Amino acid sequence: MPTRTVKKVKLKPGSERILKIIGVVVALLLIVFIFYRSNINSLKKIGYSEKAAKTILSKFKKDYCLQLGENKTLNAAFESSDYIEKNLDTYSKVKYRKQKHLIKNINKLIKKKYSNDQISTIITHGDDKAVSEFTKRDKVRYLDEFYTLDYAKLALYDRYVDFMNKSREDAEGSVIYVNLDLDKENYKDYSFVKDFSYDMLINKHRALSPKFIPPRLVKINKEYCTDGEKIEGNEKAIDASETMIAAAAKKNIHILISSGYRSYDGQKEIENMYLKLYGENYVNKFVAHAGFSEHQTGLAFDFASAKKSIFTTSDEYVWMFENAYKYGFVYRFPKGSEEITGYTAEPWHFRYVGKEIAKKCHDEDITFDEYFAKYLY
Ligand SMILES: [Zn+2]
């Protein structure tokens, strides 16, 4: 029987050593890799992205970052090709906003000698475009005066300064006026409000197109209308009116509605009628031009008293003045706010905005225009 000889491969002593070295190197690399990954993971755990974490390690800033904990601006800095080492302290202190040129803009603002707090202020008062534009101008003088207000807009800085110089308003007043475009002429250079919403603002600077018709127009209960007229309004606003009128009736307060939704053409007829009767000055002061009337939203109503012909002398007026906000209505054109609202006081005209906004306007004692300038603009 032939015997099989198994040949044992024997490595030369030299090759064995090489393999051993390779083994050690691979093991070392593995250890380094595991260590590297655990560092990356510890940074990711406190909110850094993979990309930022890699840069942090390559720049030997791991301990610095771990010590600070989560910091979105730093994360953006380490992700950005605009990162500058000497600006690191500012990056760590400036508030974060998701903006495409955040780090580039911070660098520019540091160059203009703004403080860290001021840079935060600038970043948080505009979008990427507004901040980028702002970085192009020389250091401004009244940054802290205007921008301690949350609702001051970076892009409007020059208009705020102009308005404050020309008017008797302080910084806060100037911001509100300019946010409402009140530094512009009435009925000129206005914008269009396209979409219906319960918090839409229509005034002499914010118009509706002739085609705008509010959704879900319904007729109000005939009993609640003056002369049994068919008055329409948005369903939710009508519901709120009826609830309010019914609640008032229980207290012997008898409110009626004399006007609700008016179409663009309807308002145009009214405008023309008053124009013929009293002329342009009167119309500009007392009658909304077509497209600029809140009645076109289906959310505004004129109220009346069932007991007295002059509304302001009635218990109904007093009751509404004190209670309408509980049903989601704001007293739209109050006395003393003519410059803000653009209208002479109209004690009968109320606007449905929903309970939350109405309560806030009531509690802060502000008009809906001011509410808009502060919270919705
Ligand atoms: Zn009205």
Query: What domains are defined for the chain?
Result: 34-139 (no CATH), 191-376 (3.30.1380.10)
CA of 305 to the centre of ligand 1 (A): 15
CA of 375 to the centre of ligand 1 (A): 24
Q: Take residue 42 and report the two structure tokens written for it.
A: 């510890």
CA of 268 to the centre of ligand 1 (A): 14
Per-residue confidence (pLDDT) for residue 288, from 0 to 100: 86
CA of 101 to the centre of ligand 1 (A): 47
CA of 295 to the centre of ligand 1 (A): 6
- Alpha-helical (H) ranges within the chain are 13-45, 50-58, 62-68, 72-79, 88-93, 102-111, 116-123, 128-134, 143-147, 157-166, 171-179, 235-249, 264-278, 280-286, 315-323, 338-341, 355-364, 368-371
Per-residue confidence (pLDDT) for residue 230, from 0 to 100: 85
Q: Take residue 88 and report the two structure tokens written for it.
A: 């690191």
Q: Take residue 286 and report the two structure tokens written for it.
A: 């007392």
Per-residue confidence (pLDDT) for residue 81, from 0 to 100: 96
pLDDT confidence of 286, banded at 50, 70, 90? confident
Per-residue confidence (pLDDT) for residue 27, from 0 to 100: 94
Indicate if the pLDDT at residue 330 is higher than 90.
Answer: yes
CA of 348 to the centre of ligand 1 (A): 7
> Could you identify the residue written with the tokens 């808009």?
372
The count of C-alpha atoms lying within 13 angstroms of the C-alpha of 195, restricted to the half-sphere facing its C-beta, is: 3
CA of 259 to the centre of ligand 1 (A): 7
Pick from 243, 262, 337, 255: nearest CA to 300: 262
Per-residue confidence (pLDDT) for residue 9, from 0 to 100: 65
- Distance of CA 79 to CAs 55, 102, 109, 255, 270, Å? 7, 11, 19, 63, 60
C-beta contacts of 144-148 below 8 A and 24+ residues apart: 144/118, 145/171, 146/171, 146/174, 146/175, 147/121, 147/122, 148/121
pLDDT digits (tens, 9 = 90+) for 216-263: 999 998 889 987 778 999 999 999 999 999 999 999 999 999 999 999
Indicate if the pLDDT at residue 2 is higher than 60.
Answer: no
For residues 262 and 295, is the Cβ–Cβ distance under 8 A?
yes
CA of 287 to the centre of ligand 1 (A): 9
pLDDT digits (tens, 9 = 90+) for 64-77: 999 999 999 999 99
pLDDT digits (tens, 9 = 90+) for 173-185: 999 999 999 999 9
CA of 285 to the centre of ligand 1 (A): 14
Q: Take residue 87 and report the two structure tokens written for it.
A: 């600006």
pTM: 0.85
- Rg of the chain in Å (alpha carbons): 34
pLDDT confidence of 189, banded at 50, 70, 90? confident
CA of 190 to the centre of ligand 1 (A): 21
pLDDT confidence of 190, banded at 50, 70, 90? very high
CA of 374 to the centre of ligand 1 (A): 24
Per-residue confidence (pLDDT) for residue 217, from 0 to 100: 96
CA of 33 to the centre of ligand 1 (A): 73
CA of 64 to the centre of ligand 1 (A): 62
Per-residue confidence (pLDDT) for residue 29, from 0 to 100: 94
CA of 228 to the centre of ligand 1 (A): 18
CA of 89 to the centre of ligand 1 (A): 56
- Which residues is 351 bridged to in the sheet? 300, 330
Indicate if the pLDDT at residue 204 is higher than 80.
Answer: yes
Q: Average of pLDDT values for 277-302? A: 91
Q: Average of pLDDT values for 91-97? A: 97
Indicate if the pLDDT at residue 4 is higher than 80.
Answer: no
* Number of neighbouring beta carbons within 10 Å of residue 321: 14
Q: Average of pLDDT values for 77-105? A: 97
Rounded Cα distance, 22 and 14, in Å: 13
Q: Average of pLDDT values for 36-57? A: 95
CA of 301 to the centre of ligand 1 (A): 6
CA of 78 to the centre of ligand 1 (A): 56
> Could you identify the residue written with the tokens 């953006």?
76
CA of 163 to the centre of ligand 1 (A): 30
DSSP conformation class of 279: -
CA of 225 to the centre of ligand 1 (A): 14
CA of 310 to the centre of ligand 1 (A): 15
Using DSSP's 3-state secondary structure scheme, residue 191 falls into strand
Degrees to nearest 5, angle at CA 46 with 43 and 49: 60
Rounded Cα distance, 304 and 44, in Å: 64
Indicate if the pLDDT at residue 32 is higher than 70.
Answer: yes
pLDDT above 90: percentage of residues in the chain: 86
Pick from 30, 29, 54: nearest CA to 40: 54
Indicate if the pLDDT at residue 365 is higher than 60.
Answer: yes
CA of 282 to the centre of ligand 1 (A): 16
Indicate if the pLDDT at residue 80 is higher than 90.
Answer: yes
Rounded to 5 degrees, what are φ and ψ at 219? -85, 145
pLDDT digits (tens, 9 = 90+) for 114-165: 999 999 999 999 999 999 999 999 999 999 999 999 999 999 999 999 999 9
Indicate if the pLDDT at residue 1 is higher than 60.
Answer: no
For residues 109 and 119, is the Cβ–Cβ distance under 8 A?
yes
Q: Which residues contact 14 (CB under 8 A, 6 or more apart)?
A: none
Per-residue confidence (pLDDT) for residue 316, from 0 to 100: 95
